């Protein structure tokens, strides 16, 4: 299929790479790829290209990395690419109205939630934190508001009791590429449905993650904490004080029990895990990480702290 559409793609992190690949495979012409400027990374703090830049260069595509799209020069460069469509996926820069108006067919965005729920920066983690039963991806026609544009296509997926932020991220990244590929195909053959305005009811905002949120408060319910642990895996990773030591908590389960007067105390510790009293029920830590160490099972951790071992009560 080739419709002659000229696409400019804008994205930055790993999440956006499958969508870029979907554009390349669509038969349309990806004329340029926009991504954020290289950032310092790693222990040496050397400038590192974004995952989208790496994928674009590997595909032989031109790459643009403006600090902003607000100035006249940056907008002139974009206009010179003569895009029919601008596809934006986790780009990370604000697109002014004049940029949104530049492509002949406007701008599309792939957003990792079921809009209008979880507009904003961290929809994947917020959905897990809230205990949502499902989430998905929307292909949206962009407008000036934050994730407020009408929706063209949608994909849904359940959130399982085992899903971590990382696992859901990867699944939604592939779903996003699927819905984008369908949108591009249907745009070419004239079967794309009219964009549906988002309902006014049910709006919520997925604010950017803060490392401070990852500190566990055992006066909260074990279920709330278990959601945090899954949502913050692999970043920023939940942390807690356990028997006098600060640990990162990678995995845990909720078990029955009621010791709110002992919140934060170790109730039992065995190969099955470390049971911590919470405001409601009990949280069993199953994978932890000591300062400077690697994630290990609770059983291995207890080998290093045999004084904690006690049979489950």
List residues bridging with 205 in a β-sheet.
119
Q: How far apart are CA 224 and CA 229, in angstroms?
A: 9
Q: How far apart are CA 11 and CA 245, in angstroms?
A: 40
- Flag whether 216 is marked binding: no
- Flag whether 114 is marked binding: yes
Sequence-separated contacts (24+) of 133-136 with Cβ below 8 Å: 133/158, 133/159, 134/158, 134/159, 135/159, 135/168, 135/172, 136/112, 136/172, 136/175
Of 166, 157, 187, 264, nearest in space to 220 by CA: 264
* Residue bearing tokens 């970043």: 235
- Flag whether 29 is marked binding: no
CA angle 255–260–264, rounded 5-degree value: 80
- Flag whether 191 is marked binding: no
Tell me the C-alpha to C-alpha distance, in Å, between residue 307 and each of 101, 218, 248, 294, 311.
66, 22, 20, 21, 12
List residues bridging with 110 in a β-sheet.
139
Binding region: 113-116
Binding region for (6S)-5,6,7,8-tetrahydrofolate: 113-116
């Amino acid at each position: 299929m080739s419709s002659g559409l000229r696409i400019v793609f804008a994205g930055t992190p790993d999440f956006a790479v499958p969508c870029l690949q979907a554009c390349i495979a669509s038969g349309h012409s990806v004329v340029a790829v926009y991504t954020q400027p290289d950032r310092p990374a790693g222990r040496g703090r050397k400038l590192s290209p974004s995952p989208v830049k790496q994928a674009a260069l590997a595909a032989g595509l031109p790459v643009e990395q403006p600090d902003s799209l607000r100035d006249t020069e940056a907008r002139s460069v974009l206009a010179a690419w003569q895009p029919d469509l601008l596809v934006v996926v986790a780009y990370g820069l604000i697109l002014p109205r004049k940029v949104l108006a530049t492509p002949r067919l406007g701008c599309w965005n792939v957003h990792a939630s079921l809009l209008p729920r979880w507009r904003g920066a961290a929809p994947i983690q917020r959905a897990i934190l809230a205990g949502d039963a499902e989430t998905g991806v929307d292909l949206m026609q962009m407008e000036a508001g934050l994730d407020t544009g009408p929706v063209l296509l949608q994909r849904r997926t359940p959130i399982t009791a085992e899903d971590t932020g990382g696992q859901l991220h990867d699944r939604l990244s592939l779903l996003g590429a699927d819905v984008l590929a369908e949108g591009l195909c249907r745009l070419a053959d004239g079967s794309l449905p009219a964009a549906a305005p988002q309902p006014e009811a049910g709006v919520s905002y997925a604010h950017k993650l803060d490392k401070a949120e990852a500190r566990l408060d055992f006066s909260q319910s074990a279920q709330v904490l278990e959601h945090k642990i899954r949502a913050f895996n692999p970043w920023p990773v939940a942390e807690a004080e356990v028997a006098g030591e600060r640990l990162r908590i990678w995995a845990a389960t909720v078990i029955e029990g009621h010791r709110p007067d002992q919140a934060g105390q170790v109730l039992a510790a065995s190969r099955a895990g470390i049971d911590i009293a919470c405001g409601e029920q009990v949280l069993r830590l199953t994978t932890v990480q000591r300062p400077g160490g690697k994630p290990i099972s609770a059983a291995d951790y207890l080998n290093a702290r045999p004084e904690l071992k006690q049979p489950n009560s």
